[in-house]
Chains A and B, each alone.
Chain A
Amino acid sequence: MSPIAIVYRKELRDLLRDWRTIMSMIIVPVLVVPLLICGVLKIVNKTLNEKPKNEKTMEGAPKVMLLGGENSPDSVAALRQLKKFDLVPASADYTNLISSKEIRAAVEIPPDFDAAVEGERKTAIRIYTYEGEPKSMLVRQQLEEFFRRRAEEVVRRRLLAHKLPETLVTPFEIKPTNVASPKQVSGVVLGMILPYLMIIMCLTGAIYPSVDLTAGEKERGTLETLLTSPVARTQLVLGKVLVVLTASLATAALTITSNSLALAFFNSGGFAKLPVTLSPLALAGVCAVMMPLAVLISSLTVAVGLFARSSKEANTYLQPMLLLAIIPAVIAALPGVDFKYGLAFIPILNISLLCKELLTGLCPWGHIVVVFGSTSLYAALAVAAAVALFKRESVLFRT
């Protein structure tokens, strides 16, 4: 067995016996993150589709105050039949009740509203809401939709009564038609989420092991023991970088798999399905271009860990690195930011943009070569930096 393989095997075994690794590499991505995502989605779903506990009294549905409407029984009955709101009797302090979120909205139906509509006289419905408050906004949307449909129905009846065609008020229709393939459509959605998630998870998965295998060894005094072995320093570093790389990729892979399964499970539970399908070829392409980035991340975190005097100091350096990595990943996820050769040399941003192209199936080979090449070069430089640091006694024995 080569010395690199011996170091790799030992470091991996050592790491997997540490509950903190199990926590950051397996439990958090496999259990905690999907549970959190599903929990948040469930809450959002429940909030958006608030259903009454009692269908008869509408208890539990969003409370809407009905102001007026005494002489408009048809509109009031239609609103009640909608079975979306718990209609509460009118009260003078409705603005306070909306502000204090005791009711979500108030709808004011003017006197003789139904008669005015029938008589083709101008009239107006007023909806009072709490601007920016999500539930109030949702109720407003539903009320507007309800009254818009009623208005359309009235128009249709009037046209029919006057024997006029519907084209009088709707001269033409607008029919947006998608020409992109389902793969491209899901590619746009995935292109915004997947590279971001993979990059963040690669980095999250690399941080703890790299600190443990470098600054952690310094603290525990095992680094000096290791340095007395006849193995070349380069081989020792490569063994450590490979273990960090394994942890980084495993964390990313486990996160993607567990979240996909969680979302699939959630989708099957009736939640609005996301328009997402992922071809194995596109996924393989994304994984392939992610590889040099994962090497770059692993080597950099190892280099930073080696430089630090203690685990605490290493974490102080690595946490801002996580933030620095998020920025280009977020920029790449923004709509309208597309691949340009000028951006092909910016680490993380280049990979994220390339992944977006790969996932939509529109990726020229030139882009792949430039991004893969530049990231591989950065990865090689990071490995060389880690090796160089491991050979410097002023770094290894920093106090």
Chain B
Amino acid sequence: MIEARALTKVFSDRKRGPIRALDGVDFRCEPGRIFGLLGVNGAGKTTCLRMLATILRPTSGAATVQGFDIANESQQVRASIGFLSTATALYGRLTAFEMVEYFGRLHGLEDSVLHPRIDALFHTLGMNEFRDRRCDKLSTGMKQKTSIARTLVHDPPVMIFDEPTLGLDVLTARTVLGFIRDCGQRGKTVIFSTHVMSEAERLCDAIGIIHGGRILAHGSLAELRQQTGEERLEDIFVKVAEGHI
């Protein structure tokens, strides 16, 4: 479960002064459901998800992840999440196995639990072929699978994905989206940011349209259709972003 209340982030910039990247955002993500943050580049999606992952601290407002406060219980929050974004790269000089093993250990897993779990993950994701290959020698798809295994190794109840298909080819993107859907079906709380309308349309149980750091509309796709009178998500997004509702 994720709950955000008036979540705000202001960055200070010497030249431009204070920049309000996120402005009083409220939303709620339920277990077993996929919540999509839909917005253009610079809308505040990454800032929002980085705050939920406790990489950034909120300027004001609050959020809880699995009941833990992101500002005061950051370690417990991080223990409860799997965070995947285009900015979370792999250690090139470690093998795929070592990479996943390292994060399992950082999550406090004993080898007796960790190694069978890695074996199962590698089997499920079809990673045994490149298990002992260094990450800098992996293809983009293999890297993404390794990243997925890294986020899942401690079996977190909450998954946070920041534009996880950005820059991926069609087949790899399909694998990633399938994995996100699977997380939702397994009862995990999933929050997922994207600017690709078709992905949000296909995957999300609920969508928040974020623009200029604010969530302008949210609800299920059916609810958004009802609110805007539009059928296609792209038209809904444009109408909301241009302030017509």
The smallest beta-carbon distance between B179 and chain A, in angstroms, is 17
Residues of B within 8 A of A225 (CB): 88-90, 150
The smallest beta-carbon distance between B224 and chain A, in angstroms, is 30
Q: State the CA gap A220–B136 with chains docked (Å).
A: 11
- Indicate if B173 sits at the interface (CB-CB under 8 A): no
The smallest beta-carbon distance between B50 and chain A, in angstroms, is 8
Residues of B within 8 A of A168 (CB): none
B94 A224 Cβ-Cβ under 8 A:
no
- Indicate if B87 sits at the interface (CB-CB under 8 A): yes
Residues of A within 8 A of B56 (CB): 393, 397
Task: Pick the contact of A228: B76, B88, B91 (CB < 8 A).
Answer: B88
A222 B89 Cβ-Cβ under 8 A:
yes
- Indicate if B144 sits at the interface (CB-CB under 8 A): no
Q: Which residue of B lies closest to A7 (CB)?
A: B106
Q: State the CA gap A225–B106 with chains docked (Å).
A: 12
Q: A1-B105, A18-B93 are in contact. Are A228 and B87 (CB under 8 A)?
A: no
Q: Which residue of A lies closest to B105 (CB)?
A: A6
Q: State the CA gap A220–B90 with chains docked (Å).
A: 8
- Indicate if B128 sits at the interface (CB-CB under 8 A): no
B89 A221 Cβ-Cβ under 8 A:
yes
- Indicate if B81 sits at the interface (CB-CB under 8 A): yes
- Indicate if B19 sits at the interface (CB-CB under 8 A): no
A224 B87 Cβ-Cβ under 8 A:
yes
**CB-CB contacts below 8 Å: A216-261 with B:** 220-222, 224-225, 227-232
Q: Which of A1, A13, A222, A394 has the most CB of B within 10 A?
A: A222
Interface residues on A, range: 20 to 34
Q: State the CA gap A13–B88 with chains docked (Å).
A: 20
Q: A6-B106, A393-B55 are in contact. Are A220 and B78 (CB under 8 A)?
A: no
**CB-CB contacts below 8 Å: B1-47 with A:** 12
Interface residues on B, range: 20 to 34
- Indicate if A275 sits at the interface (CB-CB under 8 A): no
A228 B94 Cβ-Cβ under 8 A:
no
Residues of A within 8 A of B92 (CB): 220
A229 B55 Cβ-Cβ under 8 A:
no
- Indicate if B130 sits at the interface (CB-CB under 8 A): no
Residues of A within 8 A of B90 (CB): 222, 225
**CB-CB contacts below 8 Å: B82-133 with A:** 83, 85, 87-94, 98, 102-103, 105-108
Residues of A within 8 A of B75 (CB): 230-232
- Indicate if A39 sits at the interface (CB-CB under 8 A): no
Q: State the CA gap A120–B98 with chains docked (Å).
A: 91
Residues of B within 8 A of A229 (CB): 78, 103, 106-107
- Indicate if A60 sits at the interface (CB-CB under 8 A): no
- Indicate if A53 sits at the interface (CB-CB under 8 A): no
A230 B108 Cβ-Cβ under 8 A:
yes
Interface 0/1 of B148-165, CB less than 8 Å to A: 001000000000000000
The smallest beta-carbon distance between B89 and chain A, in angstroms, is 3
Q: What are 16 inter-chain pairs, A to B, with CB distance below 8 A? A: A6-B102, A6-B105, A6-B106, A7-B106, A17-B93, A222-B89, A224-B55, A224-B85, A224-B89, A225-B150, A227-B55, A228-B78, A229-B103, A230-B107, A231-B106, A393-B55
Question: What 4 pairs across the A-B complex have the smallest Cβ distances?
Answer: A221-B89, A230-B79, A229-B106, A225-B88
- Interface positions of B (Cβ within 8 A of A): 12, 53, 55-57, 75-76, 78-79, 81, 83, 85, 87-94, 98, 102-103, 105-108, 150
- Interface positions of A (Cβ within 8 A of B): 1, 3, 6-7, 10, 13-14, 17-18, 220-222, 224-225, 227-232, 393-394, 397
